A and B are shown apart, each in its own frame.
Chain A
């Protein structure tokens, strides 16, 4: 049952219309950051207010919602956001990726392949991929307008010159349909290949920075690289200690103070379903 003190999914209808218009423009211009009048939500900026607003604008009463943080359903902020929508929208929730119609995520794309009709909503801290090269919004806006992405390649090239490799391991920029360079949120670059041509609709919400952007299904999103230094997704060179998966992204867990450690799937639903299938 929803809390009658709030409108469905918390936001008032006028706010939802504003968000929905922004989402549609984001879909129409993939990878371009649409400014929107982010509202003050009852949770702090930086804790998913952008994702929460996008999810609230998309939710229908029939939705089945999954919320993950770091790939896990039971991390505290995922629990908190899930609770918020159960209370304000009364929607069904699930931990199973395949059963969810909307998934709100922070820092991961689920291991289980997404399907057409699903929506993946990313929480985004800094939507501007050029921000750490040029702090001024007035400048970066111009750079996107003129497709001046040379600075980004210079940065990647300097990495190679200094380290022999590109030293960006998460929030790795992608070029969308050959036009806008986009920040995929701080997902590990291991997840980047899933951005490209994914059958699900991917929506990105940055509340504090007031930006929404999107990757429609089957959209090209290519990780920036050089021919002689091609993009390489990486993960810890281990198998999951719980389910044995050698292909999933792993969290490292320190087990004692003598250097003992183990590696487990960051995607808790993926790991659990593999263990259940093995039993």
Chain B
């Protein structure tokens, strides 16, 4: 005899206990510390901080540990925590021109003020598994060089002096905040950039790639990719001046895009912009390509119907926490609506095939 399923609560508790055990894995293997993740899984930590919209390497590392390495789950943990934090103030706009660069490359000029700095990159590594890492060999010390004590102006600033690239005068308007106000379409560029910064790296990568392959091509040159530390300053009204409250590591990408001019604008280069926490090059590059593709209307370009040009499509589907939540919710019981469909299909079949009626 069927008895209505009971014991949901017991099942959940047992599942959570099992999850904790599975997370720990073989107890004979030493447990990972949060500090180990923070120091040795840095790029994972950076991604979680970027998409989680919270700069806190320790908490991001904790989230990765708790999520068993599931990056979207870790982003979700960090976001849910972020929501509960009080907002004490807003920093002044970051001055990335004053960045202490660890890496800075330009694909547009062979040499330029501030120089090309390769930095810690996978770019020219040969992708051969390094079995010494498996043997837990000590990493060799990298050679050092004296710090180049010179300003590192943005490439786009240099172009701007000649009027060759669109001007972007600083605006006074306070940017919107997706996490505090519902998204309204069309969105302005600041809001779009916020959505892209929080957006899933894989989604943005595919969108950016699609523009390169011709779905809304904007022909992007990497004017500059720079990674390094930037001071965060907070204006204190009581003091009447701003104070530095810390530093964040950022990846910033500015693309320079061909532009043939429009009715109102002469031929000049245009910009795409990407920014991410920590070293996060793929994200910063992808973001700047998608940003540029989304600007077609403002620049008077044609809508060629490319997915990356479609603001509503991109902004509505870039967020992986939303996407995975809704995708995975189909695991929840749908007995009731499925039953309704079952009855409907049976009835339609009875009417369509009276001889096949049960």
Residues of A near any B CB (own CB < 8 A): 6, 12, 35-42, 44-47, 49, 69-72, 74-80, 83, 106-108, 125, 136-138, 163-165, 167, 169-171, 186-190, 208, 210, 234-236, 241-242, 249-253, 255, 262, 264, 266, 268, 271-272
Complex CA–CA separation, A213 to B330 (angstroms): 23
Q: When the two chains form the complex, which single residue of A77, A164, A266 contacts B335, counting CB atoms closer than 8 Å?
A: A266
Q: Which of B321-352 contact A (CB under 8 A)?
A: 321-322, 324-329, 332-337, 339-344, 347-348, 351
Contact B324 A44 (CB under 8 A): yes
Other than A77-B333, A163-B348, give 14 A-B pairs with Cβ distance below 8 A: A37-B181, A39-B83, A42-B80, A78-B8, A107-B334, A138-B186, A165-B344, A169-B340, A170-B336, A208-B326, A210-B182, A255-B2, A264-B4, A272-B4
Determine the residue in chain A with the shortest Cβ distance to B186: A138
CB-defined contacts of B332 to chain A, threshold 8 Å: 46-47, 69, 77, 106
Alpha-carbon distance between A36 and B325 when the two chains are bound, in angstroms: 19
Q: Does B183 contact A (CB under 8 A)?
A: yes
Q: Is the CB of B336 within 8 A of A188?
A: yes
What is the CA–CA distance of A39 and B339 in the complex, to the nearest angstrom? Answer: 32
For residues 29 through 84 of chain B, which have their beta carbon under 8 Å from a beta carbon of chain A? Answer: 76, 79-80, 82-84
Report yes or no: A74 in contact with B5, Cβ–Cβ below 8 A.
yes
Q: A37-B180, A42-B80, A271-B4 are in contact. Are A75 and B333 (CB under 8 A)?
A: yes
> What chain B residues lie within 8 Å of A250 (beta carbons)?
339
Q: Is the interface of B mostly helix, strand, loop or mixed?
A: helix
Report yes or no: B324 in contact with A251, Cβ–Cβ below 8 A. no
Interface of A is mostly: loop
Cβ-defined contact, B337 with A137, below 8 A: no
Residues in B whose Cβ lies below 8 Å from that of A241: 2
Q: Known: A74-B5, A236-B343, A253-B2. Is A44-B325 also a contact (CB below 8 A)?
A: yes
B7 in the interface, Cβ–Cβ < 8 Å?
yes
| Complex alpha-carbon distance, A253 and B335, angstroms | 10
**Of the residues B11, B84, B337, contact of A170 by C-beta under 8 Å:** B337
Interface pair A171/B337, CB less than 8 Å apart: yes
For A35, A188, A235, A252, the residue with the greatest tally of chain B CB atoms inside 10 Å of its CB is: A188
- Please give, as numbers and ranges, the residues of chain A lying within 8 Å of B326 by CB-CB distance: 45-46, 125, 208
Task: Tell me, in angstroms, the Cα distance from A39 to B82 when the chains sit together.
Answer: 10
Contact A36 B340 (CB under 8 A): no
Q: Which of B2, B321, B324 has the most CB of A within 10 A?
A: B2
